[in-house]
Amino acid sequence: METVLSGIRSTGHLHLGNYYGALKNFVKIQDSYKCFFFVADIHSLTTHPHPSDFHEGVKIILSEYLAAGLDPEKSAIYVQSDVPEICELYTLLNMISYVGELERTVSFKDKVRQQKNNVNAGLLTYPVLMASDILAHRATKVPVGKDQDQHLEIARTIARRFNTLYGVEVFPEPVNMDFGSGAIKVPGLDGNGKMGKSEGNGIFLCDDEKTISKKVMKAVTDAGPTTPNSEMPESVANLFKILSIVSDKSTVDYFKEKYNDCSIRYGDLKKQLAQDICKQTLPIKARIDDIYNDAEYLHKVVKQGADKARESAAATLALARKAIGFKAF
């Protein structure tokens, strides 16, 4: 069975884009792959979160992933900082990672620009820690967004370099996991581009009915079609796209017809859209709230996940240490 692994940043909440674009696929593959899903809390230290918010961020994202269907019985679901073997591997892999190649990473250059006063070494070696996350379990498939492709490339380089340097086959080279037709892009509510974390553009799984309705009613549209069968502006096409994700086909067809004969009222479309989003997300929200408030359950989940992840990472580390030449006296 192939091993799949994905890391989740512990900042913010999950939005519809994360859910339909990534999570739903994660949920589906849990039976056919050996899966590792973890909260990358050590990675988030590169931006210095305040200690009083730090744990909260981890708890929120964990509750949301579990509520959306990640199953701790099927997958290893853990918190990165509960698995010290990852940090040991990170130390070892840092010795074969070159400053030059890390400095060329787009994400590093972006951060240097964004946080001029906090260009810490963790930012530079962020891809090495990510490689350690992946290689610790010798994962071969890593489902991540396009923005992470360069980091995956570095993970492959490090894996190859280790194997070559020590003449071993310890690390397989991980590739992005493509969900093919399952790869849904969810647009935002602000008229252009995809849904993201930014204010006003996204609907979160933890939003209540009133918030969802308010956000959808405020979504950008135009003045309405005046000639039959005219092309939709991006803002309206985006609302239809979201409708096609959350509603049934007959509803989409109904509003398309109304658009094409110019009788559409965007208020009606939005009301329906808000209602159908709620139908999908409110049951998840209820589970998020339950899980978030169930300290005993969360404790059990992360303990179980850390046990599985530590066992797997320790086995890899033993191979890596042996290859490097560490020996017991």
Catalytic residue IDs: 111, 194, 197
- CA 27, 28, 31, 32: dihedral to nearest 10 degrees? -130
**Closest distance between ligand TRP and the C-beta of residue 3, in Å?**
12
**From the list ligand AMP, ligand TRP, none, partner contacted by residue 134 (C-beta under 5 to 8 A by kind):** ligand TRP
With 0-12 / 13-18 / 19 or more C-beta atoms within 10 angstroms meaning exposed / middle / buried, residue 297 is: middle
Please identify, using beta-carbon distances, which residue of 103 and 257 lies nearer to ligand TRP: 103
H helices within the chain, ranges in order? Answer: 16-18, 24-29, 51-67, 84-94, 99-103, 106-114, 121-124, 126-135, 149-166, 209-217, 234-246, 249-260, 266-292, 295-324
Residue 3 binds ligand TRP, judged by CB under 6 A: no
- Cβ proximity of 200 and 211 under 8 Å: no
- Cβ proximity of 216 and 274 under 8 Å: yes
Binding residue for ligand TRP (CB under 6 A) from 62, 123, 130, 186? 130
With 0-12 / 13-18 / 19 or more C-beta atoms within 10 angstroms meaning exposed / middle / buried, residue 261 is: exposed
Please identify, using beta-carbon distances, which residue of 202 and 225 lies nearer to ligand TRP: 202
**Closest distance between ligand AMP and the C-beta of residue 184, in Å?**
6
- Cβ proximity of 196 and 17 under 8 Å: yes
**From the list ligand AMP, ligand TRP, none, partner contacted by residue 133 (C-beta under 5 to 8 A by kind):** ligand TRP
**Closest distance between ligand TRP and the C-beta of residue 81, in Å?**
12
Please identify, using beta-carbon distances, which residue of 64 and 276 lies nearer to ligand AMP: 64
Binding residue for ligand TRP (CB under 6 A) from 14, 123, 128, 134? 134
**Closest distance between ligand AMP and the C-beta of residue 178, in Å?**
11
Burial 137-165 (b: 16+ CB within 10 A, else e): bbbbbbbbeeebeebbbbbbbbbeebbee
**From the list ligand TRP, ligand AMP, none, partner contacted by residue 22 (C-beta under 5 to 8 A by kind):** ligand AMP
Residue 148 binds ligand TRP, judged by CB under 6 A: yes
Binding residue for ligand TRP (CB under 6 A) from 21, 26, 35, 43? 43
The Cα 221–Cα 238 span in angstroms is: 9
Place of tokens 């086995």: 315
* Residues of the shown chain interacting with ligand AMP in the complex, contacts defined by CB under 6 A: 9, 17-18, 21-22, 144-145, 184-186, 194-196
Please identify, using beta-carbon distances, which residue of 64 and 276 lies nearer to ligand TRP: 64
**From the list ligand AMP, ligand TRP, none, partner contacted by residue 182 (C-beta under 5 to 8 A by kind):** none
* 3-class state of residue 78 by DSSP: strand
**From the list ligand TRP, ligand AMP, none, partner contacted by residue 111 (C-beta under 5 to 8 A by kind):** none
**From the list ligand TRP, ligand AMP, none, partner contacted by residue 43 (C-beta under 5 to 8 A by kind):** ligand TRP
Structural tokens at position 167: 């003449």
Q: Distance of CA 270 to CAs 200, 216, 237, 277, Å?
A: 15, 6, 13, 10
Residues in the site for ligand TRP, rule: CB under 6 A? 5-7, 9, 40, 43, 130, 133-134, 142, 144, 148, 151
